[in-house]
A = this chain, B = another copy of it.
Amino acid sequence: MAEPRDRPVLGVLGGMGPLAGATFAGRLVALTPAARDQDHIPVILRNDPRVPDRSSARLGQGEDPLEAMLRGIRLLERAGADLIAIPCNTAHLWFDQLAAQAKVPLLHIIESVCDDLERLGAGGCRVGLMGTAATLQLGLYRGPLQRRGFDVLETAPEDVRLCTQAIDAVKTNHPERALAPAAACIERLIERGAQAVVLGCTELPLAVPHAGRRAFGVPLTDSIDALARAAIARCTMAAAPAEA
């Protein structure tokens, strides 16, 4: 039985981590202008936490997650996804391999964050960057930010543990322990000259509640919200696919 094809269906490859995947689905709803249920974007979320750890794999200590992510993409395609978002920054270290095998377009979280920095008036600024050890060590954001004219200031090697502590606290369901290390890391970046800060791991927005963000005095770009805004823009603007 065919689904009504009045608008694109967004596939979400979540579970990396699971709270980030679920929160992405919630922020997608909260950021969509809607007067009733039926105005929202149809979503299929695969929130499967069994994908091997991305940071461990990339830093040479663990199983490669590529096959598990490809299985997820195939499942979303079979379930009718017309485009796919992946609310995990570190997973984007495999973006080119995923995009090469996907039959539908994949949104790129790093490009969404760059768009969001521009939306926030931070175009061309010195941008402080937080993320997992793998995202930072492998420079996932560095090239794309520089190509779009940003000056990049990465979390200093001695402060990476602050990111890791915040991320681990969220992943172990203790978000109340996540704010202090995340805030300390943001403040260190600002002391070093950051004019905006990227929460470049999808656990980090969960560590720093929206209500307290203004107090830092510089724009914080939330990689969950940035990807949700990009998905809403694409699903709202895209022509509905033809009837199959």
Contact = CB atoms under 8 A, between A and B. Distances in A.
Interface of A: 1, 3-4, 6, 9, 15-19, 21-23, 25-26, 28-30, 32-51, 53, 67, 71, 74-75, 78-80, 171-173
B45 A44 contact: yes
Given A43-B48, A44-B45, A50-B38, A29 B25 contact: no
Contacts of A34: 171-173
Nearest to A34: B173
A19 to B, nearest CB: 5
Q: How many copies does the complex hold?
A: 2
Contacts of A28: 22
Contact of A37 (B17, B41, B42, B74): B17
Contacts of A173: 29-30, 32-34
Nearest to A70: B1
A171 B36 contact: yes
Given A19-B26, A26-B23, A49 B40 contact: yes
A35 to B, nearest CB: 6
